[in-house]
Amino acid sequence: MDTIERLPYDQRPANRDLSHLDGEYGWPLVGKTLDMFRNPHEMFARHYEKYGAISRISITGNKCVLLLHPDYVQRVLLDREKNFSIKKGWESVMAEFFEGGLVMRDFEEHRLHRGIMQTSFKPDAMREYVTRIQSIVKHAVERWALQDTFLFYEEVKRLLLDIAFDVFCWVDDSEMTVKTMNKAFTDMMEGALGIVRLKIPGLLYHRGLRGRQYLKGFFMGLIEEKRASADRDVFAHFCRAKTEDGSYYDDEDIADHMVFLMLAAHDTTTSAATMAAYYLCNDDDLQARLAEDVACSDQPFSYEAFFHEMKEMVGVFYETLRMHPPVSMFLRRTIRECEFDGVRVPADTMVCVPGAYIHRLEEFWRDPNTFDPTRFSEEVNEHRNHNFMWIPFGGGAHKCIGMHFARLLFMQTFAEMVGNYRMEFAKRDYFPAKLQYFPFSKPVDSLPMKLVPRS
Ligand code: HEM
């Protein structure tokens, strides 16, 4: 055994020799990354047609094994044999921004840390968030309706940030605090998603790291106060959470989890809402059916209504996530050599599972490039043909902890809009619009639209 092999898996360099596999890397340095940014669906479709369900590729600066079959997704996400490190996967692209977050922790360490978040997302806590979210959403939608036209993406992003500050951390809402937090958060998001990743003052990446540092410091400074308070926001739950031996979690860990939570929650939900609005503006009949659904539910909407009623709205949520999953790929690194249908994947190799393409595989989905929420209706249930063909929230130990929260935000926002207004594109002949796919899907012009009161 040589020296490198004796190192723990998270200290070994990545394996970059995949010459035994079919596939292509693309351009030097950037590989296929730019093609993927332009249109991931087309890029992965071409790769799949040429090389099949397992091949080599170079994306995001990594030489990877690309896995394009739900059976492979199942093996990687469930990871019963502990062959795949999520930490080494995400670290390769997001190390500094995700530091200390749940996706930067493997196996037992991850299990212990996930405990910090459990209470915050239990139904009792969620029921309480519903009431708070309702009033924020109602005001925002009323404000949008007063404008001739507005950019949906920009407005929903602001709305979700307001909700995050309120529900996640009940920050003192003095204008100064909100403004500084907002700026730090926006800088962090832009830095995390920037393409040029150099720590040079003035560049987005550098500003992003400064924003992250500010937020982390902000949370660290409040931990004692929150712990002693009777607050019931997400942050307060984290501060009071106890480890298995009965002690509080470390302050640094709590602050890192808060920062990661805000990153994980925000742009994902913003993108899903924007893409749903885009399809809804294009379908008056669907909007009318949703409005009927909403009218039949008790108002103000209860937590139960979002989970047990409004089935058609759930279909819209699911179908939007199928067409445009905000987390479009899963990155992992092998810890030891594995095999997929007889193909060898060496230890320390990056594997990439693009959910965005699994959601459009023609063998599994009927007419996959068409937006059709009825495929999730009880009569059709197309996504039930394989447990891992629809994976917008992942699966296994790292399955999204905020998935019900995301659904709540989505349902609340659209119930408020379609219940009272008709959503319309601001421009004629807008559909199909030019879309941006990376880092998250949205129309490139941020979806100019208007709300017209339902008579
Ligand atoms: C539509 C919105 C969302 C989507 C599509 C989404 C998707 C995902 C996915 C795919 C993962 C797993 C990543 C992996 O396995 O590599 C994940 C993890 C996570 N998400 Fe979400 N997410 C959304 C919203 C949220 C929200 C609102 C929150 C918090 C309130 C949240 C918090 C988290 C956290 C903390 C993790 C890490 C879980 C762990 O590693 O144990 N997400 N999310």
Tell me what pLDDT residue 173 has.
66
Where is average pLDDT lowest: 171-175, 246-250, 435-439? 171-175
Quote the tokens at residue 235.
Answer: 């942050």
pLDDT band at 175, cuts 50/70/90? low
Assess whether pLDDT exceeds 80 at residue 259. Answer: yes
Tally the C-alpha atoms within 13 A of residue 90's C-alpha that lie toward its C-beta.
23
Pocket test for ligand 1, best of 400, 408, 411, 413 (most atoms within 8 A of CB): 400
CA 318–ligand 1 middle distance (angstroms)? 15
* CB neighbour class for 434 (10 Å; exposed up to 12, middle 13-18, buried from 19): exposed
The atom number, within ligand 1, closest to the CA of 327 reads: 10
Tell me what pLDDT residue 82 has.
97
Average the pLDDT over 157-162 and give the result.
91
By C-alpha distance, which of 101, 438, 157 is closest to 270? 157
Confirm or reject: Cβ of 275 under 6 Å from ligand 1. no
Quote the tokens at residue 294.
Answer: 């909403």
Average the pLDDT over 285-298 and give the result.
90
The DSSP-derived string for 60-92 is TTEEEEEE-SHHHHHHHHH-TT--EEHHHHHHH
Protein residue with least CA distance to atom 21, ligand 1: 400
Quote the tokens at residue 427.
Answer: 């421009």
Confirm or reject: Cβ of 102 under 6 Å from ligand 1. yes
CA 143–ligand 1 middle distance (angstroms)? 29
The atom number, within ligand 1, closest to the CA of 90 reads: 16
Confirm or reject: Cβ of 185 under 6 Å from ligand 1. no
The DSSP-derived string for 405-428 is HHHHHHHHHHHHHHHHEEEEESST
**333: which strand partners?**
85, 350
Assess whether pLDDT exceeds 70 at residue 1. Answer: no
Tell me what pLDDT residue 299 has.
75
Q: Which of 163-167, 199-203, 290-294, 367-371 ranks highest by mean pLDDT?
A: 367-371
Asked if residue 85 lies in contact with residue 384, where contact means CB atoms within 8 angstroms, the answer is no
CA 121–ligand 1 middle distance (angstroms)? 12
CA 400–ligand 1 middle distance (angstroms)? 4
Asked if residue 330 lies in contact with residue 314, where contact means CB atoms within 8 angstroms, the answer is no
Confirm or reject: Cβ of 392 under 6 Å from ligand 1. yes
Quote the tokens at residue 29.
Answer: 């340095």
Give me the chain's average pLDDT, please: 93
Confirm or reject: Cβ of 76 under 6 Å from ligand 1. no
CA 263–ligand 1 middle distance (angstroms)? 9
Assess whether pLDDT exceeds 90 at residue 191. Answer: no
User: In what side-by-side order are the strands of the sheet with 150-151?
Assistant: 150-151, 448-453, 421-425
Q: Which domains does the chain have, with CATH numbers?
A: 3-453 (1.10.630.10)
75-84 burial: b if 16+ Cβ within 10 Å, else e = bbbebeeebb
The DSSP-derived string for 147-208 is SSSEEHHHHHHHHHHHHIIIIIH-----HHHHHHHHHHHHHHHHHHH-S-----TTSHHHHH
Confirm or reject: Cβ of 269 under 6 Å from ligand 1. yes
314-364 confidence digits (pLDDT tens): 999 999 999 999 999 999 999 999 999 999 999 999 999 999 999 999 999
Average the pLDDT over 262-274 and give the result.
94
pTM (two decimals): 0.95
Task: State how beta strands 343-345 and 84-85 pair.
Answer: unpaired
Assess whether pLDDT exceeds 80 at residue 197. Answer: no
The DSSP-derived string for 323-367 is HS-SS--EEEEESS-EEETTEEE-TT-EEEE-HHHHTT-TTTSSS
Q: What are phi and psi of 85, to 5 degrees?
A: -100, 120
422-442 confidence digits (pLDDT tens): 999 999 999 999 999 988 999
DSSP designation for 385: G
Confirm or reject: Cβ of 215 under 6 Å from ligand 1. no
Protein residue with least CA distance to atom 43, ligand 1: 400
CA 101–ligand 1 middle distance (angstroms)? 11
Quote the tokens at residue 91.
Answer: 């670290």
Where is average pLDDT lowest: 104-108, 118-122, 247-251, 296-300? 296-300
Asked if residue 376 lies in contact with residue 319, where contact means CB atoms within 8 angstroms, the answer is yes
Assess whether pLDDT exceeds 90 at residue 96. Answer: no
CA 269–ligand 1 middle distance (angstroms)? 10
Tell me what pLDDT residue 266 has.
92
Confirm or reject: Cβ of 406 under 6 Å from ligand 1. yes
Alpha helix positions (H), 282-310: 284-295, 303-308
Distance CA 94, CA 417 (A): 35
- What distance lies between CA 91 and its chain's CA centroid? 17
Q: What are phi and psi of 387, to 5 degrees?
A: -60, -20
Distance CA 404, CA 401 (A): 8
Report the C-alpha dihedral over residues 29, 11, 254, 397, rounded to 10 degrees: 80
Quote the tokens at residue 107.
Answer: 């196996």
The atom number, within ligand 1, closest to the CA of 331 reads: 16
Q: What percent of the chain has pLDDT over 90?
A: 77
